[in-house]
Amino acid sequence: MTIKRVGIVGSGIMGSGIAEVAAKAGHDVVLRSRQQVTADAMVASLEKSLAKQVDRGKLEEADRDAALSRVVATDDLEALRESDLIVESVVEDLAVKQELFRQLDGIVGDDAILATNTSTLPVVEMAMVTGRPERVCGVHFFNPAPMMSLVEIVRPLTATDDTIASVTAFAEACGKQPVEVKDRAGFIVNALLFPYLNNAVRMLENQTASRDHIDQAMKGGCNFPMGPLALLDLVGLDTSVAILDALYEEFRDPNYATAPALRRMVAAGHLGRKSGQGFYDY
Ligand SMILES: NC(=O)c1ccc[n+]([C@@H]2O[C@H](COP(=O)([O-])OP(=O)(O)OC[C@H]3O[C@@H](n4cnc5c(N)ncnc54)[C@H](O)[C@@H]3O)[C@@H](O)[C@H]2O)c1
């Protein structure tokens, strides 16, 4: 199946990035947020991001205009009816995602594929609340979606080869390098990355080193572009706690047990870049 019309649900960090990627790749995009004002804000931030690329000579004005003309913003889930593929990118909460999948299943056509951008949650549990478990899979973009080349294509037990092939082709059409992975918490990247990020928070809690020295050490010593505490701020601390909790729930590995400081920061509303305060101030 060739994917032309893409519906994106969720107007957070990832939803807007995926919308930009899909629109630039020539897809018609319907962006849905629960409120029209946030859907419109996403389009405004998309305009800003594309304008920056034009200023830097990375994008032709005509291509910017064409990409923007392909995007529609709405607060109405019904507006996703004609989509070939839906990518949901709402909060990392299984019950919320399942309810959304139930609703989408009753709206989109029989051939449409429903995909989740979840970082860790069991994709099969979203598939099984629909009447089309064979056409549900994960399509895990990385943050920031326009810049990061990887997409993990997550195959639940229920997905057909055709579903996986269609979504893989979509990711490639978006200029990404997809890898296929089984439906296990954390897939490849987060299963390997999050013990490291979590242990960096524990190291800070134990006062082994300061925030700046932990980040500086991993940049200078491992050639990472960003230290672990700055990376947690970029991901979002609430999303990070949700990811660690899902990993711990599945594997019971103590490395996945969320560092208490991280949970307390979330309770205080310190969510990282998106709230203006995390390990750093923004
Ligand atoms: N942040 C990252 O680095 C990253 C990377 C890859 C994948 N993801 C995944 O992408 C998804 C979204 O993450 P994000 O970072 O964009 O989060 P975010 O906090 O920036 O945005 C979450 C979005 O979900 C919406 N939302 C919240 N509660 C909702 C509800 N009850 N019903 C419907 N919508 C609701 C919010 O309005 C917001 O638009 C998550 O599944 C996350 O695991 C995140």
pLDDT tens string 118-156 = 999 999 999 999 999 999 999 999 999 999 999 999 999
Instruction: Tell me the Cα Rg of the chain.
Output: 19
Does the beta carbon of 34 lie inside 6 Å of ligand 1? yes
Mean pLDDT of 95-119: 98
- Ligand 1 centroid to 101 CA: how many Å? 15
- The Cα 200–Cα 265 span in angstroms is 15
Q: Which of 119, 166, 198, 240 is catalytic?
A: 119
Provide the 3-class DSSP secondary structure of residue 246.
Answer: helix
Cis amide leading into 144 (omega within 30): yes
CB 3 within 8 A of CB 170: yes
**Predicted confidence (pLDDT) at residue 58 exceeds the cutoff of 90:** yes
Relative to the CA of 96, which ligand 1 atom is closest?
31
Distant-in-sequence, close-in-space partners of 183: CB < 8 Å, separation ≥ 6: 122, 123, 124, 138, 154, 155, 156, 157
Nearest of 99, 93, 81 to residue 30 by alpha carbon: 81
Name the closest-CA residue to atom 8, ligand 1: 119
**Predicted confidence (pLDDT) at residue 116 exceeds the cutoff of 90:** yes
Residue type, 73: A
Token pair 């607060």 in the structure block, residue:
75
Token pair 């229920």 in the structure block, residue:
158
pLDDT of residue 67: 96
Q: Which of 140, 166, 240, 270 is catalytic?
A: 140
Structure confidence at residue 1 as a pLDDT band (50, 70, 90): confident
Please give the structure tokens belonging to residue 280. Answer: 């750093």
- The Cα 97–Cα 56 span in angstroms is 38
Q: Residue 119 catalytic?
A: yes
Mean pLDDT of 213-237: 98
pLDDT of residue 151: 98
